[in-house]
């Protein structure tokens, strides 16, 4: 017996695909926020980096996003501002087109953000990774999804 494809069936399939895509996009945005967003940091010093990096790596493992071997992440940058200001980089109101040296299309912020970059300087995974903090104010570069959400932070672009 052959399956009869009707317009209703096609509409249902298309709707399911859109919902799955939106869910994946939302998950990427939430992961971006976990890895790179901290609206109101306390300290922005080495202790801040040690605590924030430990929290981020534990959350990744808890959510089964990083089931691989436990390693200390080399470097990570946290952006300080509102999530709306960071999302605005993906629009004409807060960002401009930016093309990386490798030809990747991204968005550059129109204004500088306060950032804290945490760089690994010793210790072993997972609870003993030690980080050094560097505070800065700079333009940031992000990749955006089709829903104008940032999904990747390009630390090395600026």
Confirm whether 93 is a catalytic residue: no
Confirm whether 36 is a catalytic residue: yes
Catalytic residue among 36, 80, 93, 147: 36
Cis preceding linkage at 32, omega within 30: no
Catalytic residue among 121, 147, 149, 152: 152
Active site residue ranges: 36, 152
């Amino acid at each position: 017996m052959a399956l009869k494809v009707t317009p209703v069936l096609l509409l249902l399939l298309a709707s399911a695909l859109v919902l799955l895509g939106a869910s994946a996009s939302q998950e990427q945005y939430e992961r971006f926020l976990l890895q790179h967003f901290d609206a109101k940091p306390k300290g922005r010093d080495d202790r801040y980096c040690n605590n924030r990096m430990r929290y981020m790596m534990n959350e990744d493992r808890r959510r089964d996003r990083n089931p691989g071997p436990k390693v200390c992440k080399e470097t990570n940058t946290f952006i300080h501002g509102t999530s709306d200001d960071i999302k605005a980089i993906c629009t004409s109101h807060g960002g401009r087109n930016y093309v990386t040296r490798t030809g990747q299309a991204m968005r550059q912020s129109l204004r500088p953000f306060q950032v804290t970059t945490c760089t690994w300087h010793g210790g072993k995974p997972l609870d003993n990774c030690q980080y050094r903090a560097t505070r800065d104010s700079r333009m940031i570069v992000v990749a955006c999804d089709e829903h104008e959400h940032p999904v990747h932070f390009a630390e090395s672009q600026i």
